[in-house]
Amino acid sequence: MSGERTTVGLDVHARSIAAEAVDWSTGQVFSDTLVPDHETVLGWLARLPGPVAVTYEAGPTGFGLARALQAARVRCVVVAPSKLERPPGDRVKTDRRDARRLCRLLHIGEIDDAGAVRVPSQVQEDARDLVRAREAARADLMRARHRLSKLLLRHGIVYSGGQAWTGAHEAWLRRQRFDRPGTRAAFEEYFDAVLSVTARRDRLDHAIAVTAALEPWAPIVARLGAIRGVATLTGLGLAVEIGDWTRFTGASIGAYVGLVPSESSSGASRSQGPITKTGNTHARRLLVEAAWHHQKPLRPAGKTVAARRAALPPAVRARGEDADRRLHYRWTTMTRRHKRPPIIAVAVARELAGWCWSLATMDT
């Protein structure tokens, strides 16, 4: 049970906050609807019998309120909505009922610091915004390229001069001409969108390279780069999404990123299904993308990877090479068992997460 006299549940929205509090010494209930202003919320909490503990669900409003409460020395637990079970018979859902339920769950210990969402620091959130903006640019670029290539395909125009989306391909695109004004306008708009998003992606890549070279990210990004397939973008992305690596072990980090099998077991029956896909979606995507690199045969490192590893301590470099050998061996053995490549990539990504944890925590 909570050690505070009063527990508070907040149902936070963009334009309002439903607040419910209970003084467990007297049983008195406090209810209010607040504007989403930190000073207003702190002022309302200051009028409650102390000490006070607060909880609310993580959502699109971010962690500014949690940081304000922590700065005011008020214990605040931010809980993931997926961690809150709702009784099957509960058919009425309102903001006030949600806030009251959070208040009671915090009091009885169903919501505690161990199962809470970790509130990122402002430095970590700043870098995370940058990495996620680059991820959005990648998705936008893929859509823009698809629109352009499918427009050309509908008109029977297919590029056959080598790999697409290179300098030669761009020169080929610039030579295309259309007689119909509608098709010509559509082609120009789609081509301009590709060029615009490509430029945006390149600007973000430069900003990521600058950020990755700064503290506190530079040491961990450098160590993660000892593994094949983990360069600056992936290294910084994993660093900012995972945050505090010491929260996990090599075995538990796979569950955090949702790369472990789901399970439904009862008695002597045990049934495993697809991966859970819980936790951090962004980190999981980065790990699976990096895992595909280990499908390729092991060869001497190229100039880029060799230069990256040359700046690392011998112990880190050796561990990165061990990871490459182990992950490639894992891929080849599963291939001999006739597993499909997407299944292999997920299995290798789960093991890759453990190797990344090992490198990230080496100095601790």
Domain ranges of the chain: 6-115, 122-212, 218-360
Q: Coil, strand or helix: which one is 285?
A: helix
Residue with more model confidence, 197 or 118: 197
pLDDT of residue 273: 80
| pLDDT surpassing 60 at residue 295 | yes
Contact 293, 331 (CB under 8 A): no
The Cα 60–Cα 211 span in angstroms is 25
The pair phi, psi for residue 266, each rounded to 5°, is -150, 125
**Residue 319 pLDDT > 80:** yes
Residue 113 pLDDT level (bands cut at 50, 70, 90): low
State mean pLDDT over 84-103. 86
How many whole angstroms separate alpha carbon 134 and alpha carbon 128?
10
**Percent of the chain whose pLDDT exceeds 70:** 98
Peptide bond into 49 cis (omega under 30): no
Where is pLDDT greater, at 262 or 49? Answer: 49
pLDDT at 161 over 90: no
Q: What is the dihedral of CA 186, 190, 195, 197, to 10 degrees?
A: 140
The residue-averaged pLDDT of 321-340 equals 94
169: pLDDT strictly greater than 80: yes
List pLDDT tens digits, range 213-263. Answer: 999 999 999 999 999 999 999 999 999 999 889 988 888 899 889 998 887
pLDDT given for residue 269 in this prediction: 77
Q: Indicate the average pLDDT of the chain.
A: 91
Mention every residue, 6+ apart, whose C-beta is less than 8 A from residue 190.
144, 147, 148, 151
pLDDT at 2 over 70: no
Distance CA 76, CA 364 (A): 28
pLDDT of residue 267: 75
Residue 265 has pLDDT above 90, yes or no: no
Are 249 and 231 a contacting pair, CB within 8 Å? no
| Rg of the chain over all Cα atoms, to the nearest angstrom | 25
Band the pLDDT of 363: cuts 50, 70, 90: confident
> What per-residue confidence (pLDDT) applies to 310?
86
Q: Decide if pLDDT at 101 tops 80.
A: yes
Q: What is the pLDDT of residue 305?
A: 80
Sorting pLDDT into bands at 50, 70 and 90, what band is 186? very high
Q: What gap in Å lies between CA 246 and CA 15, rounded to an integer?
A: 36
**C-beta separation of 81 from 30 below 8 A:** no
**pLDDT at residue 333 is higher than 90:** yes
Which pLDDT score, from 0 to 100, does residue 1 have? 55
Residue 84 has pLDDT above 60, yes or no: yes
Q: How far apart are CA 6 and CA 22, in angstroms?
A: 6
Distance CA 88, CA 72 (A): 38
Which CATH topology does 6-115 take?
A: Nucleotidyltransferase; domain 5 (3.30.420)
Is the confidence at residue 364, as pLDDT, over 60? no
Confidence of residue 115 (pLDDT cuts 50, 70, 90): low
Give the confidence band of 140 by pLDDT, cuts at 50, 70, 90: very high
CA-to-CA distance for 14 and 12, rounded, in angstroms?
A: 7
Q: Would you give the end-to-end CA distance of the chain in angstroms? A: 33
- Give CA–CA dist 249/78, Å, rounded: 23
Q: What's residue 301's pLDDT?
A: 77
DSSP helix/strand/coil, 348? helix
Secondary structure string (H, E, C) spanning the chain: CCCCCEEEEEEECCCCEEEEEEECCCCEEEEEEECCCHHHHHHHHHCCCCCEEEEEECCCCCCHHHHHHHHCCCEEEEECHHHCCCCCCCCCCCHHHHHHHHHHHHHHCCCCHHHCCCCCCHHHHHHHHHHHHHHHHHHHHHHHHHHHHHHHHHCCCCCCCCCCCCHHHHHHHHCCCCCCHHHHHHHHHHHHHHHHHHHHHHHHHHHHHHHHCCCCCHHHHHHHCCCCCCCHHHHHHHHHHHCCHHHCCCCCHHHHCCCCEEEEEECCEEEEEEECCCCCHHHHHHHHHHHHHHHCCCCCCCHHHHHHHHCCCHHHHHHHHHHHHHHHHHHHHHHHCCCCHHHHHHHHHHHHHHHHHHHHCCCC
- Checking if the pLDDT of 264 tops 90, the result is no
Within 159-279, residue ranges assigned H as helices are 167-174, 181-212, 218-224, 232-242, 253-256
Model confidence at 182, pLDDT cuts 50, 70, 90, reads: very high
Residue that wins the pLDDT comparison between 327 and 115? 327
User: What does the chain come to in residues?
Assistant: 364
pLDDT at 88: 80
pLDDT (mean) for 96-122: 85
The predicted pLDDT at position 307 comes to 84
Range 25-33 average pLDDT = 92
Which tens digits make up the pLDDT trace of 196-210?
A: 999 999 999 999 999
